[in-house]
Structure 1
Amino acid sequence: MLLKKELSLTFRGLTYWLAVLFIGVFLFTQLGSDFISLKQPEPGQSDYGIAHTTNKKDIQQQTIYNLLQQSNNESYNTYPLGFLKTVKPSKSDQAVIEKIIERATGRSINQLNQIQLKQTTNTPTQQIDPIAMAEQIPIAKSYTYKQFEKDMTEVEKIIGKGSDFAKNTYLHQSYKKINYEEANHNFQTTLTKDRVSGAFARMTCDYLGIILALVPVFVAATVVLRDRRSQSQLVIQTKRISSFKLQGTRFLATVILILLPVIVFSFLPAFQSVYVAQKYQHTGSLFLFYQYILGWLLPTIVAVVGISFLVTTLFNGLVSVLFQLGLWLLSLLVNGRQVVGSIGLNLIPRFNAVGSRDLFEGIFTELVVNRVFWFALGVICFLISCVIFDLKRKGRIHYGHPR
């Protein structure tokens, strides 16, 4: 009965329906009117797309090419907190970087620029292919990959944190053009291993994860502040119901009501995945799709609601909204340049690609650790909020003025 009452109170609130609206609008505007597409590659296409590469020579060439461009401008891009910060090194530091480029290629800066000039003379600017340009950059035979890693570490020290020459960054930014065989392999993997539904679910979770890292805080804060705004906290103090049961019911009701529109709004991409699988004579799986939805997004909801319960209970106001907004922005900015396969301990795991099953398998363990971490953190924050709420009911901590 208590759970039903809490569900009803939150469900009828304006804040909840605004949150539902934001979730729905964000998802459908990001996925587009056609939601997620999947096309079978055909022989003879001019372009089959690109994929991350682990080829050491490709990584060296593309990174050195990027370093050469920024060196020519004597200006280097860094993103220490996700925002662009341009760094202009001293003459001595610039000379060190130029020596690294020359050591890596076995050519002078002038010779390298001449190679680029020949490549771009008859090519319109909009048609310049960075991967093809990087392939023209020679790598000296004596230049080992170990030396390359050492040099990029030195470059990063000169430029500063968040540059293109941090190891994790240049590895994620190194690509290769794929051919028909590779494109067809990726397509067949999406049909067989992912059953289409898995690939569509990862893209859906990527977008929903962004909005769910913020929106639930508004609903949770409203739930926690409800008693103080209605001046009913004194009545609640006299009730025999335990603090854990009361807070637990509210926590559960909030999580359920946030999860409900997520499940409903994801119906369209879920059923589309089944339709697309049938189109290619395969069988999609709604069960698989919603395994992703629950496993990927439920920890985000629990974490945000748990943190909001704790901060709001502790500070008696909407501080939790500001706190979560800061965490949300930080999570977005940290992963802003790596939107496919970027996990770590970030609140918002990114996988903004349809398919890429091989890459997903490589990061699956990291993703599981990430999701367990945030789910556990959300529960711990909730439990601490119960203790604080109980102390306030017993008068050991005074209520503040509601904001």
Structure 2
Amino acid sequence: MEYGKFAEAMQRVDDILGGGSDYCAEHLKSYGTVEVTYEEAVQRHELAVSRDRITGGYARLFSDYAVAMVMSLLPVFPAVILCLKDRRARMAELIYTREVSAARLTVVRYFALVTAAMLPVLLLSYVSNASVWGLYSGERLDYLAPLKYDLGWIMPGVMMATAVGMFLTELTGTPIAVAVQGFWWLIDINMGFRSVESGYALFRLAPRHNAGEKSFFRTQDYVDNFQRLVANRLLFAGLSAVLIIATILIYERKRRGSLDGGSKIKRALSVLGNRKNKLEG
């Protein structure tokens, strides 16, 4: 059977299954493999040594797991807890009377949260990377690779999750940011599970580059998509800055008494709860 007819048959199967299955045209390539020639293997090895200097591939793999599985979600929790702490301790009004500006207070808290989230990442990335240094004695390793990937790949995700937590908590006075970030993270992970080996879409919360031990972590694929990755990470760093600016404005309006979003939301929830009770009664 010619490949064209085979693809048409598989497309009909995909249509029957509702689309997006393993039988669609985009995923048929996963059913076949092409042997790598000796020359191609040598070229890939040389690229990994010259471009990644070995450690870059391992740092990239760590970044994939860290961003996708942990750091694009967990930082929202301490951000929400910190922002709610003032209200629960009934210290918000006291802080509002202080001379410190809303911008300074918000920015200091933001950088403190981001720093606290990044410190264990930096430590674990070096522990992970250092575990393979002994395997490549005699090679010119890049000992700054974990730091580069931590700051360039992982930190924008941390910044975004933290900014979402601070913005929504300050706006609503509720921990709704946890649900919003969790839902976003879940959608992003599930939409991109087929592009684990190379997922650099502009609006991906967690860019993926996870090829395991194949081809020295697909260095050429990373090089080809480097500009897309940079655009993605800069976009999320910029969006986080916008959210922090919005958080400052909200905090300043609350300080002046012209905004109390939390009370409005709680009243709305209370009304909905009363209506539900009446209907059940």
Answer whether TM exceeds 0.5 for this pair. Answer: yes
Alignment of 1:191-230 (within 5 A): 191-210=49-68, 211-230=70-89
Output the TM-score relative to the length of structure 1. Answer: 0.59
Letter aligned with residue 157 of structure 2: T
CA contact 1:191–1:277 (8 Å) conserved in 2: no
Deviations 1:35-70 (A, max 9, x none): xxxxxxxxxxxxxxxxxxxxxxxxx94x86465357
Could you say what secondary structure the match of 2:262 adopts?
Answer: coil
CA contact 1:274–1:283 (8 Å) conserved in 2: no
The answer for the alignment partner of 1:303 in structure 2 is: 160
| Equivalent-residue separation in structure 1 for 2:28 and 2:251 (angstroms) | 48
The answer for the alignment partner of 2:247 in structure 1 is: 385
Alignment of 1:20-59 (within 5 A): none
Alignment of 1:182-193 (within 5 A): 182-193=40-51
Instruction: Give aligned pairs, total.
Output: 258
Output the TM-score relative to the length of structure 2. Answer: 0.83
Q: Could you tell me how far 1:268 is from its partner in structure 2?
A: 1.7
Segment of structure 1 superposing worse, 282-291 or 181-190: 181-190
| Equivalent-residue separation in structure 1 for 2:28 and 2:67 (angstroms) | 25
| Equivalent-residue separation in structure 2 for 1:315 and 1:164 (angstroms) | 45
Could you say what secondary structure the match of 2:52 adopts?
Answer: coil
Alignment of 1:263-274 (within 5 A): 263-274=122-133
| Equivalent-residue separation in structure 2 for 1:220 and 1:175 (angstroms) | 46
| Equivalent-residue separation in structure 2 for 1:365 and 1:335 (angstroms) | 19
Q: Could you tell me how far 1:357 is from its partner in structure 2?
A: 1.1
The answer for the alignment partner of 1:313 in structure 2 is: 170
CA contact 1:308–1:320 (8 Å) conserved in 2: yes
Letter aligned with residue 342 of structure 1: G
Distance 1:242 1:265, change over 3 A: same
| Equivalent-residue separation in structure 2 for 1:171 and 1:338 (angstroms) | 13
The answer for the alignment partner of 1:276 in structure 2 is: 135
Across the aligned residues of Structure 1 and Structure 2, the Cα RMSD in angstroms comes to: 2.5
The structure that has the greater radius of gyration is: 1
CA contact 1:194–1:357 (8 Å) conserved in 2: yes
CA contact 2:52–2:219 (8 Å) conserved in 1: yes
- 5+ residue gaps, structure 2: 267-281
Q: Could you tell me how far 1:293 is from its partner in structure 2?
A: 1.6
Letter aligned with residue 103 of structure 2: F
Distance 1:226 1:332, change over 3 A: same
| Equivalent-residue separation in structure 2 for 1:334 and 1:160 (angstroms) | 14
Deviations 1:141-175 (A, max 9, x none): xxxxxxxxxxxxxxxxxx656775365x5678875
Could you say what secondary structure the match of 1:188 adopts?
Answer: helix
Q: Which has the higher helix share?
A: 2
Percent sequence identity over aligned pairs: 24
Match of 1:349 among 203, 207, 213: 207
CA contact 1:187–1:355 (8 Å) conserved in 2: no
TM superposition outliers: structure 1 runs of 4+ over 6 Å: 171-174
Match of 1:88 among 16, 37, 46: 16
Q: Could you tell me how far 1:266 is from its partner in structure 2?
A: 1.1
The answer for the alignment partner of 2:257 in structure 1 is: 395
Distance 1:329 1:191, change over 3 A: same
Could you say what secondary structure the match of 1:177 adopts?
Answer: coil
Deviations 1:300-339 (A, max 9, x none): 1111111111111111111000000111011101111111
- 5+ residue gaps, structure 1: 1-59, 77-86, 90-158
Q: Which has the higher strand share?
A: 1
Distance 1:164 1:364, change over 3 A: farther
